[in-house]
Structure 1
Amino acid sequence: VLPWDMGRQDVLDFSEELVKQVGRPVILPSGDTSRVSASIGLSSRGFEVASAKDLLEQADFALFRAKEQAAGAVVEFSSRHAESKRREVLVHQAFKNARLDREIHLVFQPIIDTHDGTISRCEALARWDSPEIGMVPPGEFVPIAEKAGMTQEMTLAVFRKVIAQLKVWPDNACIAVNLSAQDVNSQQCTDLMASMLIRQPPSLRKRISIEVTETSLLTDFTEVHKNLMKFRELGVKIALDDFGTGFSSLRYLQELEFDIVKIDRSFVSSIESNDKSFGLVRTISRLCRSLSIACVAEGVETREELEHVRAAGCHLVQGFYFSTPLTAEKMLPYLTGEESFEGMGTLVPVPRRDVA
């Protein structure tokens, strides 16, 4: 793309200028102003490559990292990226060969009703123990699965385990399952999940909730709506996760008839120091109450955060303040009431106003 005799700094300067020029406002024929942004990934033969294809893959890898940063980032392929790329290839290959029904296991993070300390439901979180490369954190294997279009098999394995767990847990136990954008936009995936559910009694189906993020609704709203309604017709609850970080359209709350809204942790983490965050949590909580939607505050990690979200009217909370994700065995005593979460006894009582 660029002359071979260009030095490294010249290439970086060129890239920065290119990003700057692309980002200049454009006056449309209508008179409106439009802006676009660009990210750049670049690579040179500073690393051993066998072909031009390898060089392009390095630049593409750097571009992927640039997109994770602020708009307009320029990222050069580095030794750190080379190691990360080798690891990604290793994890990708191991995931392709994985027998997920055996290798995936679940942990559960409770959602606490702070009125009485009971567990409203548990969010199922996948953990992968590969016999080839050992324990792989979800922050590593989930993006690789999504990038490779391999989330369906993982989601179905998780769903089978959730159903099996509900059959042995007490009848009051409820579990939330996350669906990726690929899952919720896939007729095949949602059909397979629905076929599992339809074989279960209604009493079990109503103990399951499906969590989707706002961004997963932006691709094909009509298809997503159709797919989610399969679950609603079977008695499964639908939750909107990370509310406030995406488009936050009230259309979603109206047309998809969510049962649960989860306020993103970014609002909770700043709720002590930022009056606007407190106001937003309070507003979302009131909106949910007026629509008969349960409202959950995510990412509560301190006593102060807990008191602030409760003062804002949100009494269902999830976060490390009460518990890190637990195995099924460690969660059981909390479900049966044999154990309780620390800190509940000192909470100031508040009037019960949440929906069931």
Structure 2
Amino acid sequence: MLIALCALLAAKVSREKKKRSFAQLRLEREQKKQILKSLFCEESQLPNINYIQKKILSNNEINDSAHHIMHVICVGRSADYYRFFDSKTSREIKTQLHNCLNDALLPSVIGLFEDRYIVVVFVKNSPWKKEQIIEQQQRVQRTLPHELVVGGKPLPFDYSVASMPFSEKDIAKGKSYLFKKMAFCVNKSLKSLEGLYVYSHSDYKRSLRKRQIIQDLSQDIRQGGAKFSLCYQPIFHSTDTSEVNIWEILLRWNRTEYGGPGEFMPLVATKPHLHYSLTMMILKKVIDYAVSSEDTLPNISINVSNSDLMMVDFFDDVMIATEVYPELRSKIIFEVVEYSEMLSKKHVKDNILNLKKIGFRFAIDDFGCGYSNLQLLTEKHFDFIKIDKTIIGMCEQDAVAYETLQFILKLSESINAGLVIEGVETAQQLALVPEDPNVFIQGFLLSRPVRLTSTLSPRTK
């Protein structure tokens, strides 16, 4: 009896072990399946960036003598290229290109990044020289077909190729480290006329710096402007250089690591909404100063961009900002950099005309620099013309420049606009400026920028 019970118990234990063994095997199979799934793109079933990483680090050891080069190919020179095709056509295109490059170039590994970009990797035992990278990049470019038959129809193709050397240490640092550089290279290649780019560490560092500047600017504006200060540069009557007629407001950012406005303002100009936030902040802080000042203020000139004038809320925001001091409206002059295509848009004109009806005035800045559209002046939207400083700088040696100055003076008189001559830095240049009640002077000879106020703090409620 005891023997029978022991036999039954042993059989039960054996069955339980088998069950656990089957469950374990099933779990292991599922895990392997998931691992394999993570190595291939879902739509095309081609190897992905995880596969490339695993292949390069197949021995789980870093090989310091291995020097890799990666070519990232963007089909159609657009990240959204495949959205114009159904999944079957996209899969066929990717597969054909994958096979074409793999067969012709015999790379150490090939796959897809984000199921869109073809990544081709080569390896050798010595560092890649730039000329070798360019030579291989051109070989990749020549291998790529300019036409494929897809679904029985020939389709034309164009590409961008971004090339970047990297080490196995870079791979080991994690995907994000490498992906950031890859994304940078791809972006540069897409913007390049030829569609080609070879990684430059100095380019990459500059890009990171620009991104950091934009991030810090956004943060400092959101926090109310405590890290900004205002200066002004006086503009004088030509008939009496002791009389200040206008203050041109200038912005200073109290982050010395980013240099002056010459470095950060061009970056802001590429971000319309950031520029608009900066413009509104400056306007509000000028109004705060005016409200708290006991002095009679001159006219105040504030720079605005063409993109500011394109904003739907520009008129309303300006009106709201100035409602605490409506008398200041007739003293504010908005300076607009000359860019005729933007200024000719109806919405921009409407903003200008509506604000002029309230009493605001407008100046066109840097007139004579680049493309000058005289039609902008004949429409009489502008109360002041500011001549680009290069013109007065050339007048001493260039008769044509002096005649240009005289022509613009007559033009400004004909449309009843004041003429501001910028960049007067020497007594000789000052002597060339006509003493005319319609003419104003700005430059270091008469005054450098002056601090208007200390740190800008958030408006007191």
**Equivalences for residues 302-321 of structure 1 within 5 A:** 302-310=426-434, 315-321=439-445
Q: Tell me if the contact between 1:109 and 1:325 (Cα under 8 Å) persists in the aligned partners.
A: yes
CA–CA distance in structure 1, aligned partners of residues 284 and 257 of structure 2: 23
Say whether residues 1:174 and 2:299 are aligned partners: yes
Counterpart of 2:219 (choices 89, 97, 100) is 97
Q: Tell me if the contact between 2:353 and 2:381 (Cα under 8 Å) persists in the aligned partners.
A: no
Correspondence for 1:191: 316
Q: Tell me if the contact between 2:425 and 2:444 (Cα under 8 Å) persists in the aligned partners.
A: yes
Which runs of no fewer than 5 residues in structure 1 stay unpaired? 15-40, 331-356
Say whether residues 1:55 and 2:182 are aligned partners: yes
Counterpart of 2:254 (choices 129, 132, 149) is 129
| Larger Cα-atom Rg | 2
Say whether residues 1:44 and 2:168 are aligned partners: no
**Equivalences for residues 60-75 of structure 1 within 5 A:** 60=187
Q: Tell me if the contact between 1:166 and 1:174 (Cα under 8 Å) persists in the aligned partners.
A: no
Counterpart of 1:109 (choices 214, 227, 233) is 233
Deviation of the 1:213 alpha carbon: 1.4
Counterpart of 1:327 (choices 435, 451, 458) is 451
Correspondence for 1:37: none
Say whether residues 1:206 and 2:325 are aligned partners: no
- Moved beyond 6 Å, runs of 4+: 2-6, 11-14, 311-314
Deviation of the 1:254 alpha carbon: 2.6
Evaluate the alpha carbon distance shift between residue 198 and residue 256 of structure 1 in structure 2; reply closer, same or farther with a 3 A threshold: farther
Correspondence for 1:27: none
Q: Tell me if the contact between 2:231 and 2:453 (Cα under 8 Å) persists in the aligned partners.
A: no
1:231 partner SS: helix
Correspondence for 1:17: none
Counterpart of 2:265 (choices 134, 142, 148) is 142
Deviation of the 1:301 alpha carbon: 1.7
2:450 partner SS: coil
1:322 partner SS: coil
1:277-314 deviation line (CA, Å, top 9, x unaligned): 11111100111012211001112222222222338998
1:187-214 deviation line (CA, Å, top 9, x unaligned): 2233211222244233x21111111112
Letter in 1 for 2:302: V
Deviation of the 1:241 alpha carbon: 0.6
Counterpart of 2:404 (choices 280, 287, 292) is 280
Alignment length, in residue pairs?
Answer: 296
Evaluate the alpha carbon distance shift between residue 307 and residue 162 of structure 1 in structure 2; reply closer, same or farther with a 3 A threshold: same
CA–CA distance in structure 1, aligned partners of residues 232 and 197 of structure 2: 37
Correspondence for 1:152: 276
CA–CA distance in structure 2, aligned partners of residues 58 and 189 of structure 1: 37
Letter in 2 for 1:7: Q
1:124 partner SS: strand
Deviation of the 1:169 alpha carbon: 5.5
Letter in 1 for 2:163: S
Correspondence for 2:393: 269
Letter in 2 for 1:215: Y
Q: Tell me if the contact between 2:164 and 2:199 (Cα under 8 Å) persists in the aligned partners.
A: no
1:257 partner SS: coil
1:191-247 deviation line (CA, Å, top 9, x unaligned): 211222244233x21111111112165266211101112321221111111111243
2:339 partner SS: helix
Letter in 2 for 1:140: E
CA–CA distance in structure 2, aligned partners of residues 52 and 256 of structure 1: 52
1:218 partner SS: helix
CA–CA distance in structure 2, aligned partners of residues 13 and 244 of structure 1: 43
Say whether residues 1:87 and 2:209 are aligned partners: yes
Q: Tell me if the contact between 1:214 and 1:248 (Cα under 8 Å) persists in the aligned partners.
A: yes
Deviation of the 1:157 alpha carbon: 0.8
CA–CA distance in structure 1, aligned partners of residues 439 and 186 of structure 2: 47
CA–CA distance in structure 1, aligned partners of residues 344 and 184 of structure 2: 29
Letter in 2 for 1:184: L
CA–CA distance in structure 2, aligned partners of residues 313 and 233 of structure 1: 24
CA–CA distance in structure 2, aligned partners of residues 220 and 11 of structure 1: 48
Evaluate the alpha carbon distance shift between residue 134 and residue 313 of structure 1 in structure 2; reply closer, same or farther with a 3 A threshold: same
CA–CA distance in structure 2, aligned partners of residues 240 and 11 of structure 1: 50
1:79-122 deviation line (CA, Å, top 9, x unaligned): 33222222112212212221243222110011111311211101
